[in-house]
Amino acid sequence: MKNNGLKPLAVYVHIPFCEQKCRYCDFLSAKASDEVKLQYLLSLMHEINQTDGSKYIVKSIFIGGGTPSCVPAYFITKIMETLEKRFMIAVDAEISMEMNPGTVCKTSLIEYKKAGINRVSLGLQSTFDDELGKLGRIHDYKIFLNTYGIVRSVGFKNVNIDLMSSLPGQTVDRMQTSLERVTALEPEHISVYSLIVEDGTPFARMAEEGRLNLPDEDTEIEIDKLTRSFLAEKGYRRYEISNYALEDYECRHNLVYWNRGDYLGFGLGAASLIGSTRFSNTRDLKKYIGARGMSEMNIQRLTDKDAMEEFMFLGLRKVDGISENDFEKCFGKNIMDVYGDILNKQVKEGMMHHEGDRWALTEKGLDVSNVLMAEYLF
Ligand code: SF4
């Protein structure tokens, strides 16, 4: 599709509500009353309505949270209608919505579809009810299967399933069973995130008290290896550290983040990047609602050095890595003059590989990507 001089844009909409807080979660989300949810919707619509979208063509929308499916379905219709009024949305735009099993029904799914949602992301996390219970999830595996069945029956053809690894008590066999069960459902996309024990969560307290029973390092390594080889065998290509997709089903929205494309975030705490400016909304719900979505923004103007660092540590999350020509186009500098020593060192260590115009972490490098990315900070 031609852009007619309009700039491509990705749009994120944050719904910060959940039915209950999972024990590991430090996302910006909480339980809320119906009245608060309604006031939030009005503020969100006001924020979108105050935006000049005339320069852009929206290539992807991601409604995330929190749990977007825990607000009434017509909220999603209203959000989409408001976005359509302010922005030109590409006919082939990827429009994703996160949903939790057990928070949707056939009627709501039909409404989401009518509103334009064409990609569903389901937070399953595990296929074992005891693991789900420990995580504090509200669903069990049977509820998930029922939800997945309805999602397919109303005609969604692009579905992601989220799984988690390194869960308390998780074994390699159990992970294998979860992967077998999930791939048997043939979703187009699978994300597998390792549990991270975040400060301030109930899991952090349990870990401190020695009550979390996390898998040891060897088991974690085995689980990661199994995940990669099992999914590859089933035709899911790993295209980012934690993301796997059937051909042509990579999440286009998330690729914008890793490629440092322009995106606008709406809603509580939502972050945006336009050119070399990062900005984000307040994380205070009362302030956000009080200011009808127009509370003060946190603005950061990136220097060239900041942007180069981001280019490296976001781009190298992708299995295809980064292009030296893109680096030169963005910054007017040869990547070797800026990062040549580090790139060559990582190649020697077997962590990086260089082919044609591209630099990408090897499998060994992806395993320790956090350490390697730090080397790109000035
Ligand atoms: S459903 Fe998701 S956002 Fe909500 S508490 Fe659980 S992990 Fe956090």
pLDDT tens, residue by residue, 205-246: 999 999 999 999 999 999 999 999 999 999 999 999 999 999
Give me the architecture of the 7-257 domain, per CATH. Answer: Alpha-Beta Barrel (3.20)
pLDDT tens, residue by residue, 23-72: 999 999 999 999 999 999 999 999 999 999 999 999 999 999 999 999 99
φ, ψ at 69 (rounded to 5°):
-85, 5
pLDDT on residue 152: 98
193 lines ligand 1 (CB under 6 A): no
CA pair distance 256, 243, nearest whole angstrom: 14
Question: Residue 355: which of 319, 330, 331 has the closest Cα?
Answer: 319
Query: Model pTM?
Result: 0.96
Res 1 pLDDT > 60 = no
CATH fold for the domain made of 304-378: Arc Repressor Mutant, subunit A (1.10.10)
pLDDT tens, residue by residue, 243-266: 999 999 999 999 999 999 999 999
Structure tokens at 361: 């972490």
CA dihedral angle for residue 209, residue 214, residue 216, residue 218, rounded to 10 degrees: -160
- Residue 194 Cα to ligand 1 middle (Å): 15
Residue of the nearest CA to atom 7 in ligand 1?
Answer: 25
Q: Which atom of ligand 1 is nearest to the CA of 136?
A: 6
pLDDT tens, residue by residue, 349-358: 999 999 999 9
Where in the chain are the domains?
A: 7-257, 304-378
CA pair distance 43, 47, nearest whole angstrom: 6
Q: Name the band, by pLDDT with cuts 50, 70 and 90, for residue 276.
A: very high
Q: Name the band, by pLDDT with cuts 50, 70 and 90, for residue 2.
A: low
pLDDT on residue 376: 95
Percent above pLDDT 90 for the chain: 98
67 lines ligand 1 (CB under 6 A): yes
pLDDT on residue 3: 74
